């Protein structure tokens, strides 16, 4: 049975919108204002190397599919080689190798995917997808990489309309300069 993990870059005020700066958000790229340090880089590398598959929304998938195939190194090799599942009703023929489109009932398809795959299925970003799966109690673990910044506006991880969910903190690690 697979374990579904949502990993997110989050500001102190809960904003997850455009941490990498590829979208048209006025605060886009906010995560690059911070050095996450060697320990933060190691955390993200270890997380990626432990992943057995990626599950992404279409927007995140398209950004990753544009960026990662041209990159090299341990992180990029893992991203490029592992199975990728993209939830979309518009994408039909994904170019990034080992990619499969999920276009039917997302809840049923992801529940089936969790049963079929062993290991960690990791969702990076893809907040709309995460919220949908959160409503159906399909996410097993949340990894929130919290940055010491208040943005004041933008799409929030636990936004208006989020279903109540009880969480248990398992671990907390400070990386970089806080």
Question: What is the DSSP annotation of the chain?
Answer: -EEEEEEEEEETT-B-S-TTS-S--TTTTGGGGS--HHHHHHHHHHHHHHEEEEEEEHHHHHHHHHHGGG--SHHHHHHHHS-EEEE-SS--S--STTEEEE-S-HHHHHHHHHHH--EEEEEES-HHHHHHHHHTT---EEEEEEES---SSS-BTT-TTPPP-----------TT-
- Residue 178 has a pLDDT of 67
Q: What is the pTM of this model?
A: 0.93
Range of lowest pLDDT (5-14, 38-47, 109-118): 38-47
- Residue 22 has a pLDDT of 82
Q: What is the mean pLDDT of residues 7-20?
A: 94
């Amino acid at each position: 049975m697979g374990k579904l993990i949502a990993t997110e870059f989050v500001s102190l005020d809960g904003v997850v919108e455009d941490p990498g700066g590829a979208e048209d958000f006025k605060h886009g790229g906010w995560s690059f204002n911070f050095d996450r340090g060697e320990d933060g880089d190691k955390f993200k590398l270890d997380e990626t190397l432990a992943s057995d598959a990626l599950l992404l929304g279409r927007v995140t998938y398209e950004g990753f599919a544009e960026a990662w195939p041209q990159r090299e190194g341990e992180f990029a090799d893992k991203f490029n080689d592992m199975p990728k599942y993209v939830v979309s009703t518009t994408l039909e023929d994904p170019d990034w190798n080992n990619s499969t489109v999920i276009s039917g009932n997302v809840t049923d398809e992801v529940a089936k995917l969790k049963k079929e795959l062993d290991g960690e299925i990791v969702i990076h970003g893809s907040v709309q997808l995460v919220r949908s799966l959160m409503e159906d109690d399909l996410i097993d673990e949340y990894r929130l990489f919290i940055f010491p910044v208040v943005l004041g506006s933008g799409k929030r991880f636990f936004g208006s309309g989020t279903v109540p969910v009880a969480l248990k903190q398992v671990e907390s690690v400070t990386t970089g300069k806080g």
